[in-house]
Structure 1
């Protein structure tokens, strides 16, 4: 459990969570369109999960 929490608190995870929160807020307030939100969110989440898979395949 502690190791999982440590992984969650790494810089990459914090940036991903922060971007998600910010863009959700911008979408709710109407500052960005749904299409812009979807594009940005897809890139961020794809990068995050892509690096997680890459790390597992590399054995790290």
Structure 2
């Protein structure tokens, strides 16, 4: 149940959707590889940065 709850968080869904959409656009040639890398890096960097920060805060509070 906890795993399902974590998978359905809005930020995770948005990160996954952005990754899928920009992967498709890149494969179709609608955007360049450089544009794909920039957007993908920003989305994943933000997502993992937020997750790491939240985890560090929760560990410090224990």
TM-score, length basis structure 1: 0.92
Structure 2 spans left out of the alignment, 5+ residues: none
Structure 1 spans left out of the alignment, 5+ residues: none
Task: Report the counterpart of residue 42 of structure 1 in structure 2.
Answer: 41
Q: How many matched pairs?
A: 59
**Structure having the higher Rg:** 2
TM-score, length basis structure 2: 0.90
Task: Calculate the aligned-residue CA RMSD, in Å.
Answer: 1.1
Spell out structure 1 runs of 4+ moving beyond 6 A. Answer: none
2-side partners of 1:8 and 1:49: how far apart?
Answer: 14
